[in-house]
Amino acid sequence: MEMIMVYLMKMLVTNRVAAEKWHHQIGPKVMKFVGRIKIDCSSCIPEYSGNYVYQVKENGGEQFVVNIEQKSCACNKWQLIRIPCIHGMATLLTSNRDPVDFIDNKYKKESFLKAYTSVIYGINGPSIWPKPNDIPIECPHFKKQRGRPKKERIL
């Protein structure tokens, strides 16, 4: 049990210190993922339909409807992972918007720091624990079960 506590203490501190060193609003893994999406979205051609809605055409001939205001795409990837998909990224870059503003708050530095602000305090060893003198510790009473005892089998 103590090993689990020490592991969790170290994990909380390590993640908190790592998050404090982030240079952007979002984590480095998410930034790397967004960078890959920016590269992949070059094959998409967005066309503005009006009212924050775009129609995005891919090289393969597929078409998807993207709504920037609702942060949604017909491929449903934006709704699932809360990071703009390649279609959403193409529309954001075309409309000169910052993609970081359209990433969900759970990926942002503030949320990460909030998750790891709690502290697990260490405990003293058993030699320092108070010893109770008033209550003697006894073994539980054994009660013989009714009926014929089960046969002990040798495997």
List own/partner pairs for 3-10 with CB under 8 A and 24 or more apart: 5/120, 5/123, 8/120, 9/120, 9/122
Q: Is residue 69 part of a domain?
A: yes
Cα-based torsion angle of the residue sequence 126, 130, 132, 138 in order, rounded to the nearest 10 degrees: -10
pLDDT tens-digit map of 131-146: 877 777 788 888 888 9
Number of domains in the chain: 1
Q: Is residue 65 part of a domain?
A: yes
Q: Is residue 75 part of a domain?
A: yes
What is the length of the chain? 155
- 2 is written with which tokens? 């103590």
Q: Is residue 70 part of a domain?
A: yes
Q: Is residue 37 part of a domain?
A: yes
pTM of the model: 0.73
Q: Is residue 80 part of a domain?
A: yes
pLDDT tens-digit map of 80-100: 999 999 999 999 999 999 999
Q: Which helix (H) or strand (E) holds 79?
A: helix 77-81
Domain span at residue 103 reads: 27-115
Mean pLDDT, residues 53-71 taken together: 93
Residue 16's pLDDT is: 94
Sign of CA dihedral 38, 43, 48, 54: negative
Name the phi and psi angles at 22, rounded to 5: -60, 140
Asked if residue 150 has pLDDT above 90, the reply is: no
CB atoms within 10 A of CB 104: 14
Asked if residue 1 has pLDDT above 80, the reply is: no
Residue 61's pLDDT is: 87
21/32 Cα distance (integer angstroms):
16
Q: Is residue 142 part of a domain?
A: no
pLDDT tens-digit map of 16-59: 999 999 999 999 999 999 999 999 999 999 999 999 999 999 98
Q: Is residue 18 part of a domain?
A: no
Q: Which helix (H) or strand (E) holds 93?
A: helix 86-94
